Structure 1
Amino acid sequence: MSAFLLLLLQAPSAAGGPADLVLRNGMVHTMEAAQPRAQALAVRGGRIVFVGSSAEAAALVGEKTEIVDLRGRPLCPGFTDAHGHLGGLAAALRNVDLVGTRSYAEVIERVRARAAATPKGQWILGRGWDQNDWEVKKFPVHAELSAAVPDHPALLTRIDGHALLANARAMQAAGITRATVDPEGGRILRDGAGEPTGVFVDAAESLIARVVPEADAAALRESVRAAVALLHERGITGLHDAGVSAATLDLYAAMARAGELELREYVLLADDPRTLEAWFRRGPAQDLTGDGRIRVRAIKAYADGALGSRGAALLADYADDPGNRGLAQTSVEDLEGLAERALRGGFQLCTHAIGDAGNRMVLDAYAQALRTVPVADHRFRIEHAQVLAPEDIPRFAQLGVLPSMQAQHAVSDGPWAEARLGPERVQGAYAWRALLDRGVIIPGGSDFPVEAVDPIAAFAAAVTRNGWHTEQCMTREEALASLTIWPAYAAFQEDELGSIRVGKRADFVVLSEDLLNVPETRLGAVRVELTVFDGRVVHRLAAR
């Protein structure tokens, strides 16, 4: 579309009647090259109908038009988290919050407090512990937890979701003994006598998780509503929801039809054989509920585990754990087969890969699948792409593969990543600049609840890395694109979302300060003052 034609389309017209909402006197970052800045925009029927000057916007003001005077504040497209877990966030809001615990003793104390208010025999669930934050950085053992909480089965998930700690009561409920065999792609940690320590890594987590009762349906629905409200507070209007089960998708669809899901959900289906078979027969759903809320056309697969729990698959041993190269969750042949089916069925494949061996496996599988089933605009993704061998970095651009990366991980992992990888291999970790310089875009997110729900923190991490390997930083314009237009492209939604343009969905945020110009030292002070979803205000920061 030419710049002249775009500007012509942006001109105000009263043909459709007055606007529902007009925002004026602001600094609008459109993320559109033909018109990067504007002062005002207008919304009607959930769509943007005008972008331009405040004076021109006056033509669309009617008696019932809501007017917001931005008073010079910045406005940008609503943030989209390109890799998060709405169900995981909802669960985190229900369960024991272990994020930020500084010792195993603090973990136990929080669980003990919840147990005191919970009937005996009911499960205690929690998430967020990270032994890397403790003075003693070894994995915990269950003995202290079992002694403190003897009457409740307890399952405490590590921050990354790739390991859990179970107490004796939980292991008993799951039938775990010293004779229990490690499942393929998983590991049960054991003491010197061969007894389980209570820590279950990657595929072994399912041995405990399978016996946890399902959450009450009403409580689950309420916690999803609370999670969406939290996203709105942080300026998030869209989510690429990674690993959604059939049951969870049914819940989201029911909520959308009832007007309870105020979110653009781009669903990455869980790699469950029964779920995938049903969707391969059905084909992608561009608008599952007919209201622009839910799109189903992607699949989430796994190549390996996580770096923090030493499950990420590496080409050489962990620097701090000789003999361990992590855990592969699939084979290149199986992943290639899934990729071929996805290509034939019109689905996008998004594969979790963190270690350099895991990433190479995925790139190899994608390359072979694309030779067998050539599709020009496949937009296959690697989720996380955290550790890359230098020779694999150019392959993303060559294959058209998108690295979906989370800037906050670099800040969180920076203090210990080099210990895992060593000084040479860490040069290929969280290598955003190396990828961007080869013409690859990076849809960004947080992987919540692994990291905090906080796009401003993600932006700050992308442009500063908290001082760690700053040669890989993004520019501010790239960081903003990674939270807006690049996720839209990564979900085949760039014509609907991700920028401020006439005809697009009216999802946007107003900030207290301009991310593109505020001093680095003030990035942490930037606040989301207004969130608009589908043309309606869904969050307004209370006056202070």
Structure 2
Amino acid sequence: MTAPTTIYRNAQVFTGEAALKPRDSFAVRGDSILAAGDLDAVRLAAGADAAGANTVEVDLGGAFVSPGIIEGHAHMLMLGESLDKVQLRACNTVKEVQDRLAAAHAANPGAAQILGTSWRFDIFAEGERPTAALIDAVIPDVPVFMDANDLHSVWVNSAALKVMGITRDTPDPIGGEVVRDENGDATGFLLESAAIKYVWAYLESVASDADRDRFLENAFSAYLETGVTGATEMAFGPADLATYRRRLDRDGRLPFLVNAHWLLTASGNPKADLAAIAEVAQIRDEVAAQYGDKWLRIAGVKFILDGVIDACTAAMRAPYANGALPEAIWTREFALPVAVAADAAGLQLALHAIGDEASTIALDMVQECIRVNGPRADRRARVEHLESVADDTIARMAALGVTASMQPVHCDPAVLDNWQAVLGDERAHSGFPWHKFREAGVALALGTDAPTAPHEAPDNLFIALTAKSSIDRSRSAYQPQRVFTPADAVEAMTLGPAFATHREDELGRIAAGYRANVIVWTANPLTDAPEALLDSAAALTIVDGEVAFTAAG
């Protein structure tokens, strides 16, 4: 028997490419798009039974429809966990952070620990940094762990330092720092790989499988509500894999597909780094053999080449305003041979590079892969973030076919005060140059990097269209000449990430034969004022032909 067909009509259907005019109807049969076009043509494509019991028509009331959003850069378990944490992004002072922590403690006095997320560097006066003492003043006896807004550092209290076993003798890992006072004692501020090695590892050790299952469910649910039907995971590791395996073993599928990049840690030991690549390749093959790749694909590896501008840990060509000029976390000496090994194993390179020196290293890595392993059309290396990037790097990316993975929410004007202050020169006004990438012909994939920024796709799109703030709407736009046209932005949030993950033959378009991953929006970015997108959610989210979320319940 032929699978049932649903015809969605009376809509403005963006089919995935900015250059194409919207259609007014599309049809879904099973898990695939059957046709897209004018209503009569779609009905004909649906066959002779178009008016019969095997076909249903749904009137969308003129709504804007697009391929489902593919989150270009996400941290699924971290997002799901962050939704349970004390939310600090809106705090404008240390006192506000203290008050929120105290309120959380009072609401749950028996909690074994308190977790917070998204505090901003600009709550501190110039020259000041987070300290355990500031948290001890309100919560001295329960461990408190708080992720910075960018997830590259963690602020903890004295009780947290104690349970992690951090002392004067605790070493700084490569690419990280346990910040210490003049006596050599830890201050309660851990940067970069020190946050990963000590804080993340500790919290992972005390979380249960049930916790992690809940975190993943939180993330899937939150994303489906905002129209996301696929995600690019950028910090995959053993605990993540075990959590996904449990979900796949239970359900045989995921709520939507996930393309994962395994997070590499710079060890300073070339033999260990190369062994890590071999292990990831083996895990990739085992996962593909057991589950296929319809729902989960380990696509490649993630190198965190540098830190972040807010903490003055991003690798820059010229010093910060305070004179700091940190090295990259992965220096060329160690990064190039590991990149070549990963590339030879068919692992896609995802290269975190926020500073202009880090993105230079990233392109050197890609070029070395081409030199050693030869040119290859399916390489599709990608550079993540590119907040401060030189024009010569953009030109190299275009020449080498490297994708720019960028996040409009990272330049929300409400979170840029400290970012601009620590750069202190013309670089403070030339960041996030989306327009230069477009002009150079660099492939773009937009995402949010949640939970380092809000995960909601409509708010992300609003910033891409206006360069204004979705957090503090009184703020002026940051470099509004960079903005996208609505069609270009939607393409960069749908077909762009599909291309970046080798899925463009099945995802990112509403076209015959493509997987039926679709979002019906409550605002129309092509015709409505961009402000209509703010705080909106999906009216309807469809994954592989099935309704995964509806605002109507």
Same fold (TM over 0.5): yes
In 1: Cα distance, 2:291 partner to 2:518 partner: 22
Residue number in structure 2 paired with 1:491: 501
TM-score, normalised with respect to structure 2 = 0.89
State the Cα distance separating 1:302 from its structure 2 match.
0.9
1:270 to 263, 266, 272: 263
Residue number in structure 2 paired with 1:505: 515
In 2: Cα distance, 1:35 partner to 1:390 partner: 30
Residue number in structure 1 paired with 2:76: 86
In 2: Cα distance, 1:450 partner to 1:500 partner: 30
Is it true that 1:342 corresponds to 2:352 in the alignment? Answer: no
Alignment of 1:202-221 (within 5 A): 202-205=192-195, 206-212=197-203, 213-221=205-213
Note the alpha carbon deviations across 1:271-294, whole angstroms, 9 max, x for none: 155764323246556686247111
Change in CA separation of 1:288 and 1:354 when aligned onto 2, cut-off 3 Å:
farther
In 2: Cα distance, 1:287 partner to 1:505 partner: 22
Structure with the larger RCO, 1 or 2 (CA within 8 Å, 6+ apart): 2
Change in CA separation of 1:269 and 1:382 when aligned onto 2, cut-off 3 Å:
same
Residue number in structure 2 paired with 1:458: 460
Moved more, 415-424 or 225-234: 415-424
Q: Secondary structure in 2 aligned to 1:489?
A: helix
Is it true that 1:542 corresponds to 2:552 in the alignment? Answer: yes
Alignment of 1:14-163 (within 5 A): 17=2, 19-32=4-17, 36-59=21-44, 60=46, 61=50, 62-118=52-108, 122-133=112-123, 138-163=128-153
Q: Is the 8 A contact 1:359 1:388 kept in 2?
A: yes
Q: Is the 8 A contact 1:131 1:137 kept in 2?
A: no
Q: Secondary structure in 2 aligned to 1:500?
A: coil
Change in CA separation of 1:283 and 1:523 when aligned onto 2, cut-off 3 Å:
closer
State the Cα distance separating 1:309 from its structure 2 match.
1.7
Residue number in structure 1 paired with 2:432: 430
Q: Is the 8 A contact 1:312 1:354 kept in 2?
A: yes
Q: Is the 8 A contact 1:241 1:267 kept in 2?
A: yes
Amino acid of the structure 1 residue aligned with 2:508 = G
Q: Is the 8 A contact 1:386 1:429 kept in 2?
A: yes
In 1: Cα distance, 2:224 partner to 2:175 partner: 37
State the Cα distance separating 1:527 from its structure 2 match.
4.0
Moved more, 268-277 or 493-502: 268-277
Q: Secondary structure in 1 aligned to 2:7?
A: strand
Is it true that 1:448 corresponds to 2:450 in the alignment? Answer: yes
Change in CA separation of 1:517 and 1:140 when aligned onto 2, cut-off 3 Å:
same
Q: Is the 8 A contact 1:32 1:501 kept in 2?
A: no
State the Cα distance separating 1:520 from its structure 2 match.
3.4
Q: Is the 8 A contact 1:178 1:194 kept in 2?
A: yes
Change in CA separation of 1:19 and 1:134 when aligned onto 2, cut-off 3 Å:
farther
Amino acid of the structure 1 residue aligned with 2:451 = P
Note the alpha carbon deviations across 1:187-225, whole angstroms, 9 max, x for none: 222334443221111122123443333312123212311
Q: Is the 8 A contact 2:389 2:431 kept in 1?
A: yes
State the Cα distance separating 1:488 from its structure 2 match.
0.3
Change in CA separation of 1:450 and 1:33 when aligned onto 2, cut-off 3 Å:
closer
Q: Is the 8 A contact 2:284 2:297 kept in 1?
A: no
Residue number in structure 2 paired with 1:13: none
Residue number in structure 2 paired with 1:10: none
Moved more, 45-54 or 350-359: 45-54
Residue number in structure 1 paired with 2:383: 382
Note the alpha carbon deviations across 1:393-437, whole angstroms, 9 max, x for none: 211111211111101111244334332223322354211111111
Amino acid of the structure 1 residue aligned with 2:538 = V
Amino acid of the structure 2 residue aligned with 1:307 = I
In 2: Cα distance, 1:539 partner to 1:512 partner: 13
Amino acid of the structure 2 residue aligned with 1:487 = P
Moved more, 388-397 or 78-87: 388-397
Q: Is the 8 A contact 2:78 2:215 kept in 1?
A: no
Name stretches of at least 5 consecutive residues in structure 2 with no aligned partner: 266-272, 469-476
In 1: Cα distance, 2:177 partner to 2:423 partner: 20
Alignment of 1:143-292 (within 5 A): 143-205=133-195, 206-212=197-203, 213-259=205-251, 261-271=254-264, 276-281=277-282, 289-290=291-292, 292=294
Alignment of 1:309-324 (within 5 A): 309-319=311-321, 321-322=322-323, 324=324
Q: Is the 8 A contact 1:287 1:293 kept in 2?
A: no
State the Cα distance separating 1:133 from its structure 2 match.
4.5
In 1: Cα distance, 2:107 partner to 2:531 partner: 42
Identity of aligned residues (%): 29
Q: Is the 8 A contact 1:411 1:465 kept in 2?
A: yes
Note the alpha carbon deviations across 1:450-487, whole angstroms, 9 max, x for none: 11111111112112112211222222222111100010
In 2: Cα distance, 1:439 partner to 1:416 partner: 31
Moved more, 210-219 or 385-394: 210-219
Q: Is the 8 A contact 2:355 2:388 kept in 1?
A: yes
State the Cα distance separating 1:47 from its structure 2 match.
0.7
In 1: Cα distance, 2:289 partner to 2:549 partner: 25
Note the alpha carbon deviations across 1:97-126, whole angstroms, 9 max, x for none: 222122222222322333345565822222
Note the alpha carbon deviations across 1:12-51, whole angstroms, 9 max, x for none: xxxx736342211111110247964221111122111121
Amino acid of the structure 1 residue aligned with 2:260 = V
Note the alpha carbon deviations across 1:239-294, whole angstroms, 9 max, x for none: 00101112312321331342362111011112155764323246556686247111
Amino acid of the structure 2 residue aligned with 1:340 = V
Q: CA RMSD in A?
A: 2.4
Moved more, 477-486 or 282-291: 282-291
Q: Is the 8 A contact 1:385 1:403 kept in 2?
A: yes
Q: Secondary structure in 1 aligned to 2:445?
A: coil
Count, aligned residues: 526
Name stretches of at least 5 consecutive residues in structure 1 with no aligned partner: 1-15
State the Cα distance separating 1:332 from its structure 2 match.
1.1
In 2: Cα distance, 1:508 partner to 1:158 partner: 33
Note the alpha carbon deviations across 1:486-508, whole angstroms, 9 max, x for none: 10000000001001111110001
Moved more, 339-348 or 416-425: 416-425
Amino acid of the structure 1 residue aligned with 2:53 = E
State the Cα distance separating 1:390 from its structure 2 match.
2.6
Moved more, 304-313 or 115-124: 115-124
